[in-house]
């Protein structure tokens, strides 16, 4: 589950700074299936199984916001996210299906919202055990299979060591990233100077119950953190979850 990158996050003043999508480093899996998108860089049983997980309304206004207040990824829904700078997704069964996102069942299109330098978007991820809201400028929804999205990807960048350290201090409590990985990256970034460095901090399972992979890069004193939220339910098997919790390394189900 080592998959890397770059994009937007807060500056020394607490505001996000923009970094070029071309600086994102690529995941082997994403590179294989989504090379074109990377150059930009940037189910009924499952629904029943999760209490109060509401299927999208089919009304004429469905393209904007679901009746349960979760966001759509339709053209209108994406525009509303851009206008309101807020997005909220129900991932309590570890999935975001096409139906829930309001897009055609056969669609495998990627969705990218925002660009480096845009105002922040408050992204809320509702997992099986809790929710988290994080600010970002760019959100990427990967789509390797029909019927369901594969990952939610976002970036946060910092132009001071202090800002980066504040972000790293939240890596374990927010995402479950192992402290030893954070310590290793801190040393790498400190010694990097203006040179380009990158590092995969592994996977974690935070209070939301979602698997998140974290990558970091540094160049010219700017540190960029790239987060990948796993939306493949097969990867949430007990063995894999235990491996992630104990080692920070997860194994993806392929095929």
Output Rg (C-alpha) for the chain, integer angstroms: 17
DSSP states of 2-38 as a string? -------EE-TTS-EE---GGGPPPPHHHHHH-HHHH
Per-residue pLDDT of 2-19, as tens digits, reads 443 434 444 333 444 444
DSSP 106-170: T----EEE--TTSPPEEEEEE-SS-EEEEEES-EEEE--SSSB--EEEEEEEESSHHHHHHHHHT
pLDDT digits (tens, 9 = 90+) for 122-152: 999 999 999 999 999 999 999 988 899 999 9
Please report the DSSP string for 168-222 in residue order: HHTHHHHH---HHHHHHHHHHHHHHTTS-EEEEEEEEE-TT--EEEEEEEEETTE
Residue 165 β-bridge partners = none
pTM comes to: 0.77
* Tens digit of each residue's pLDDT (9 = 90 or more) over 228-255: 999 999 999 999 999 999 999 998 876 6
- Residues β-bridged to residue 139: 113, 154
């Amino acid at each position: 589950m080592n998959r890397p990158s770059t994009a937007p996050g807060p500056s020394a003043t607490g505001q996000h700074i923009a970094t070029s999508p071309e600086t994102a480093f690529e995941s082997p899996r994403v590179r294989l299936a989504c090379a074109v998108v990377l150059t930009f860089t940037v189910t009924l049983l499952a629904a029943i199984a999760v209490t109060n997980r509401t299927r999208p309304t089919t009304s004429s206004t469905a393209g904007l916001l679901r009746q349960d207040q979760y966001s759509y990824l339709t053209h209108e829904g994406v525009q509303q996210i851009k206008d309101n700078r807020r997005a909220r997704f129900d991932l309590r069964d570890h999935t975001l299906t096409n139906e829930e996102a309001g897009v055609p069942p056969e669609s495998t299109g990627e969705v990218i919202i925002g660009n480096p330098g845009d105002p922040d978007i408050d992204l809320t991820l509702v997992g099986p055990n809790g929710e988290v809201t994080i600010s970002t400028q760019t959100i990427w929804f990967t789509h390797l299979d029909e019927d369901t999205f594969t990952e939610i990807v976002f970036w946060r960048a910092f132009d001071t060591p202090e800002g980066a350290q504040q972000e790293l201090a939240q890596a374990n409590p927010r995402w479950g990233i192992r402290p030893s990985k954070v310590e290793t990256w801190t040393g790498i970034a400190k010694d990097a100077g203006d040179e380009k460095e990158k590092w995969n901090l592994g996977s974690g399972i935070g209070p939301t119950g979602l698997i998140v992979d974290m990558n970091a890069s540094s160049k010219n004193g700017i540190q960029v953190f790239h987060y990948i939220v796993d939306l493949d339910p097969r990867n949430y098997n007990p063995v894999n979850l235990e491996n992630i919790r104990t080692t920070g390394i997860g194994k993806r189900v392929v095929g």
